[in-house]
Amino acid sequence: MKPLSVVVHVNAPAAAVWEVLTDLEGTAQVLGGVRGVERLSGDTGYQVGTRWRESRVMFGQEATEDMTVTAVEPGRRTELRAESHGMRYRTEFELRPVTGGADASPRTQLVMRFQGEHAHGGRARKLLGALTAPLGVAVSRTAMGQDLADIAAAAERRARARTA
């Protein structure tokens, strides 16, 4: 699958967006498609090596993936990896503070990049992947857009609560 990229503009500072992204225990309350999150690693924070099991609805079915944080630049960028059903997935979130504008309130551009690739080769698997790729891209792009909208809404609520 070619890398997918979706961008959303958030009316909140990058710090509020980062808090939402890294709050594993709050994920199921923020992301509408997520049914539950179970922390697998012994840590309590969010750093390289943090692992969790995430259950979400995909294609009308509940799917569970084990996620691992593989890169962190606090407040700026994080990368996650997962492997499931013969596929490897990589997800990256990048936060870009937006300056300027008429009202001077802090805003953030949130970029989500996603890529899946076959973990194990084989001609038949590659052919099947090529045939189903357009559906996978469409479903993934829709899910990414919804996740980003949910993250943006939660970050904006947090930012408003701080200024109230």
Question: What is the number of other CB atoms lying within 10 angstroms of the CB of residue 150?
Answer: 19
So what's the pLDDT on residue 141?
80
Q: What does the block give as tokens for 160?
A: 């408003």
8 A C-beta contact, residue 13 and residue 108: yes
So what's the pLDDT on residue 117?
80
How far apart, in whole angstroms, are the C-alpha atoms of residue 126 and residue 129? Answer: 5
So what's the pLDDT on residue 124?
58
8 A C-beta contact, residue 12 and residue 159: yes
Query: Using only C-alpha atoms, what is the Rg of the chain?
Result: 17
First to last CA, the chain: 44
Burial of 60 (0-12, 13-18, 19+ CB in 10 A): exposed
Going residue by residue through the chain, which has 164 residues, state the pLDDT in tens, using 9 for 90 and above.
Answer: 678 999 999 999 999 999 999 999 999 999 998 999 999 998 889 999 999 999 988 767 788 899 999 999 999 999 999 987 778 899 999 999 998 766 678 899 999 999 988 766 656 555 555 545 544 566 778 888 899 999 999 999 999 888 76
